[in-house]
């Protein structure tokens, strides 16, 4: 039923639990897995204050961190990592996740209900809310 699962991770505890759920689903359904993390561009005013060289350094650092997160996530997936591919995407997380659903023709998205954001009282984060609102496939939000 779920041939291709898209797992979105941001380094949060919720995303870690989503990783375990995605591994379980992929094992049961023998799914292919795409694991993505999205790096957002620095706000323009902030970037202008930093200067071009520092912006490049910061962007390279963000890219490295994102790649490390994907490697760590693959390690956390266990044996199903053999069927997993990873990609660092750039833009707004929800938009890029929704675009990835189309690109990879995913038939399930697995993500956390919350992420790294600080507004702990909310049930859903803004990105998970946008994905469930607009995705044309089932979305598993892990609490
Ligand atoms: P907010 O970002 O609105 O302050 P939050 O960080 O608590 O709130 P979300 O950002 O919606 O909540 O995170 C929910 C889930 O969305 C995360 O557990 C993760 O699965 C996914 N997600 C969030 N940001 C990213 C990202 N940059 N790349 C990939 N997945 C992400
Ligand atoms: Mg967030």
- The residue whose CB lies within 8 Å of the most ligand 1 atoms, and thus the one to mutate among 86, 91, 115, 133, is 115
Per-residue CA distances from 79 to 30, 52, 94, 110 (Å):
11, 42, 28, 18
Residue 31 CB contacts under 8 Å (≥ 6 apart), including other chains: 2, 3, 4, 5, 25, 83, 108
Q: Which ligand is nearest to the CA of 129?
A: 1
Q: How confident is the model at residue 32 (pLDDT cuts 50, 70, 90)?
A: very high
Atom 24 (ligand 1) nearest CA:
10
Q: Is 114 in the pocket of ligand 1 (CB under 6 A)?
A: yes
Domains belonging to the chain, first-starting first, are 4-113 (3.40.50.620)
Whether the per-residue pLDDT at 120 is higher than 80: the answer is no
Give me ligand 2 centre to Cα 92, in Å. Answer: 10
For residue 123, what pLDDT is reported?
86
> Would you place residue 57 in the very low, low, confident or very high pLDDT band (cuts 50, 70, 90)?
very high
pLDDT at 133 over 90: yes
Per-residue pLDDT tens digits for 3-16 = 999 999 999 999 99
pLDDT tens digits, one per residue of 13-29: 999 999 999 999 999 99
> How many CA atoms are closer than 13 Å to the CA of 39, on its beta-carbon side?
19
Question: What mean pLDDT comes out for the span 72-93?
Answer: 97
Mean pLDDT confidence for 86-111: 98
SS3 content of the chain, % helix, strand, coil (to 5): 55, 20, 25
Q: 19, 32, 38: which is closest to 98 by C-alpha?
A: 38
Please tell me what DSSP assigns to residue 117: -
Ligand 1: does its nearest atom lie under 6 Å from the Cβ of 93? yes
Question: Residue 112 is inside which H or E element, if any?
Answer: strand 108-112
**Ligand 1 within 6 A of CB of 128:** yes
pLDDT at 102: 98
């Amino acid at each position: 039923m779920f041939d291709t699962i898209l797992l979105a991770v941001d380094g949060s505890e919720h995303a870690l639990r989503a990783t375990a759920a995605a591994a379980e689903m992929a094992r049961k359904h023998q799914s292919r897995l795409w694991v993505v993390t999205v790096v957002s561009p620095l706000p323009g005013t902030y970037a202008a204050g930093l200067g071009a060289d520092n912006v490049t350094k910061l962007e390279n650092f963000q890219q490295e961190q994102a790649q490390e997160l994907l490697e760590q996530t693959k390690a956390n997936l266990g044996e199903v990592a053999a069927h997993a591919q990873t990609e660092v995407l750039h833009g707004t997380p929800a938009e890029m996740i929704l675009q990835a659903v189309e690109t990879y023709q995913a038939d399930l998205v697995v993500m956390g209900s919350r992420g790294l954001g600080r507004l702990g009282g909310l049930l859903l984060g803004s990105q998970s809310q946008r994905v469930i609102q607009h995705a044309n496939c089932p979305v598993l939000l892990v609490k």
